[in-house]
């Protein structure tokens, strides 16, 4: 059973406005203008995946930035990286094929955090 009051429809950019209105009226649904996110994942992905998934990198970066000023042992860093940072993109990776550039950037950030204090000694 479909609840048409809660349903939205998405049209291709090439669909004429008259057809959009006719279809929306026929089914009694609204046209979707804001695609938003579903379960934290973008509902639509365009051509530039790097921009769509940039928030995954930003989220990981914010988490690591909060730990930078703390004196954390090697074991503590390993636990933080494995349990927190690697968990950030895991859901997105199970649903979407992430761009290699994003994966490389995440690896670069993690290795920079891992070796940070050792370089300063």
pTM of the model: 0.63
Report residue 18: phi and psi, to 5°: -65, -40
Q: Pairing relation of β-strands 30-31 and 37-38?
A: unpaired
93-120 pLDDT, tens digit per residue, is 888 788 888 889 989 988 988 887 654 5
End-to-end CA distance of the chain: 65
| C-beta of residue 33 within 8 angstroms of C-beta of residue 11 | no
- Cβ-in-10-Å burial (0-12, 13-18, 19+) of 38 comes to exposed
49-95 pLDDT, tens digit per residue, is 777 788 888 888 888 888 877 888 888 888 888 888 888 888 888 88
């Amino acid at each position: 059973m479909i609840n048409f009051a809660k349903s939205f429809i998405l049209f291709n950019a090439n669909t004429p406005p008259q057809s959009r209105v006719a279809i929306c009226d026929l089914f009694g649904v609204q046209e979707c203008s804001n695609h938003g996110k579903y379960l934290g994942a973008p509902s639509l992905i365009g051509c530039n995946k790097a921009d769509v998934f940039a928030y995954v990198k930003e989220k990981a970066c914010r988490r690591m930035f909060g730990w930078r000023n703390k004196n954390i042992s090697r074991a503590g860093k390993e636990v933080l990286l494995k349990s927190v940072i690697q968990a950030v993109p895991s859901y997105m990776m199970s649903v979407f094929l992430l761009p290699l550039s994003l994966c490389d950037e995440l690896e670069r950030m993690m290795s920079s955090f891992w070796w940070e204090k050792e370089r300063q000694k």
